[in-house]
Structure 1
Amino acid sequence: MLIGEVARRSGVSARMLRHYDSLGLVRPTGRTVGGYREYTPQDVRRIFYVEGLRSLGLSLREIARTLEDPGFTPSALVRDLIRRTGERLERERELLDRLRTVDAAGPAAWPDVARVVELLHGLASPSAARRQQAALAPAEAAPVPADVLARAVLTEADPNVAGALRWALARAGGDGVAGLAAGLGSGDAQVRRRAVLALAELPGDEATRLLAGALDDEDAAIHRQAALALGARGVTAAVPTLVGMVVEGPNDVEAAELLGALAREGEWGGRILGALVAELTAPGAGPAVRIRLTQALAELPGTLALDTLRRLAGDDDRPVALVAGALAQMVEAAAGTQGQSAG
């Protein structure tokens, strides 16, 4: 077949076929009666072979090397193409994210675009100081969309930078909640912890709902942090975890203070008192645990725990009895002072 017919049948333009010929990729090896060069069936098959390799992303130079290499192995080539294509897609995704971020910032002019891009570079810097500086940049200078801050929070390991990012996210209001929600579903406990710490500083019902879901997290640090955040918001669903924190020790003072505040909510005073007493009498509760629980009783409002403290003042465990007696006196004195003020 002559070049025109090959072009029609293969879909490869005559110009490209001539280019293949000049590169030595596909040269017509046949001859017509009149002496013109023509493409043999083997040449046409080679054209389709070249086109197939081009469709996989190989350059013409790479195709030439492949065709000339007698030890060519398709599997090695395909694996290399997969790697290169993945890298290219990652760069394209990063570019797309950057463009969406710039668009979401609503720049009014090119200087605004430049400021947003500079901030994005700062947040991606290998320098912790540079990332912190970017997070603390004035919002009016170049506001960064909350979802960008949320992604940065979930990946930031430096505690100082993480604190700055949480501050910046809280400054953005509740807009970053959706981005943090994705972090709660991560298989990496560190990412989930960062999400809970950030949610604790965000307002709104959705942040509270997500924190309540984190109470069931298998990681102790996560469900404890969620309980502290929920307790501070007056959410009584945190009570069992807070009681457990008093028993186990981590953040027991803060947990006891929150239980005292929650005990002011209607029937919850009696329920929290009952939960603490149940732990006090639980089999295997050691002196350190019972002292922490006794101290937590003193945080309950008014004289709610006074009778219990008086009974504990006669406990067989001497350290517990001493602590309970001292705390009972403090509660009585506080109640007397309040009564005099009311009188």
Structure 2
Amino acid sequence: MTTQEQDTNMRQALRGLEHRDPSVRLRAALAVGTTPDPGSVAKLVERCAIEPEFYVREMLTWALTRQPPSSTVPKLVDELRSPRAQARSQALHTLSKIGDRRAWPAITQALLADPDDTVAQSAWRAAVVLVPDGGQSELAAVLATQLGRGGRETQLSLSRALIALGEVIMPILHAATTDRDPGVRGHARATQQLWLDPDAGFQLAVEQAKRVAALGRAGEEG
């Protein structure tokens, strides 16, 4: 295939990313990723911010991971300042898949506490992947400020992120079990239970944490 033919195919694939049929968009993203071209990065990042279908977004992310990090990481970092939540979330998700630690300084406390739960969850996962060696304790302390936040899915995501940091979380979780906020205490105990028994599932960990807390109160009253 000549260079001209390759350029023509790439232009067609990039146009396909805007097609109204999601199956066409999926095939277009696959085509772009199959033949990496730094010239396609801007369009891929742009589409990540607005693509409505999850499976197409995942293919866009895959296509970006196929590009040179020197081309993708700066553009993804720029997306972290977007007012659009999906743009921030997808950029964080893709950075976590690329795994280039040069992106670490862009994972700010503001992103880790983003008011949008989907963005925050993506930030937690990205932070765990990108945190420099020796920075786990500091990151764990920041993540612990989000204990008690959101519903089951959000809390499970945070618990998994904390557990991925290793034993540095244990004293932080222990301190959180005495927090004035019962939501924080319960989430901290559930995370401790999940650490002890990762196969138990988060809901069971929550129930076990409640029983432990109830036994503790009974002992104090007795």
1:292-331 correspondence to structure 2 within 5 Å: 292-299=187-194, 314-316=215-217
Secondary structure (helix, strand or coil) at the match of 1:251 reads helix
Matched, 1:157 2:157: no
Matched, 1:283 2:180: yes
Q: 1:147 aligns with which of 42, 50, 58?
A: 42
Whichever residue aligns with residue 295 of structure 1, its letter is A
Whichever residue aligns with residue 63 of structure 2, its letter is A
- Counterpart CA distance in 2 for 1:209 and 1:178 is 12
2:155 paired residue number? 252
1:4-153 correspondence to structure 2 within 5 Å: 108-137=2-31, 139=33, 141=35, 143=37, 145-153=40-48
2:72 paired residue number? 176
Whether the 8 Å CA contact 2:128–2:161 is kept in 1: the answer is yes
- Counterpart CA distance in 2 for 1:205 and 1:232 is 8
Whether the 8 Å CA contact 1:119–1:134 is kept in 2: the answer is yes
Unaligned 5+ segments in structure 2 are 197-208
- Counterpart CA distance in 2 for 1:240 and 1:221 is 20
- Counterpart CA distance in 2 for 1:142 and 1:256 is 36
Whether the 8 Å CA contact 2:177–2:185 is kept in 1: the answer is yes
Displacement of 1:176? 1.2
Whether the 8 Å CA contact 2:147–2:187 is kept in 1: the answer is yes
Q: 1:206 to 1:147 in 2, by over 3 A?
A: farther
Displacement of 1:290? 3.7
Displacement of 1:168? 0.9
Displacement of 1:120? 1.8
- Counterpart CA distance in 1 for 2:36 and 2:145 is 44
Q: Percent of counterpart pairs with the same letter?
A: 22
1:66-94 Cα deviation digits (max 9, x unpaired): xxxxxxxxxxxxxxxxxxxxxxxxxxxxx
Displacement of 1:300? 5.1
1:65 paired residue number? none
1:127-161 Cα deviation digits (max 9, x unpaired): 22111110012745574632332222123222221
Displacement of 1:184? 1.6
Whether the 8 Å CA contact 1:196–1:225 is kept in 2: the answer is yes
Q: 1:137 to 1:274 in 2, by over 3 A?
A: same
Bigger Rg, structure 1 or 2: 1
1:225 paired residue number? 122
Secondary structure (helix, strand or coil) at the match of 1:126 reads coil
Q: 1:158 to 1:260 in 2, by over 3 A?
A: closer
Q: 1:206 aligns with which of 99, 102, 112?
A: 102
Q: 1:255 to 1:186 in 2, by over 3 A?
A: closer
Whichever residue aligns with residue 55 of structure 2, its letter is N
Displacement of 1:166? 0.6
- Counterpart CA distance in 1 for 2:36 and 2:177 is 55
Whether the 8 Å CA contact 2:128–2:165 is kept in 1: the answer is yes
Q: 1:300 to 1:149 in 2, by over 3 A?
A: same
- Counterpart CA distance in 2 for 1:166 and 1:207 is 16
Unaligned 5+ segments in structure 1 are 1-106, 302-308, 319-343
What is the TM-score normalised by the length of structure 2? 0.71
Secondary structure (helix, strand or coil) at the match of 1:315 reads helix
CA RMSD between the two structures: 3.2
Q: 1:196 aligns with which of 61, 85, 92?
A: 92
1:322-342 Cα deviation digits (max 9, x unpaired): xxxxxxxxxxxxxxxxxxxxx
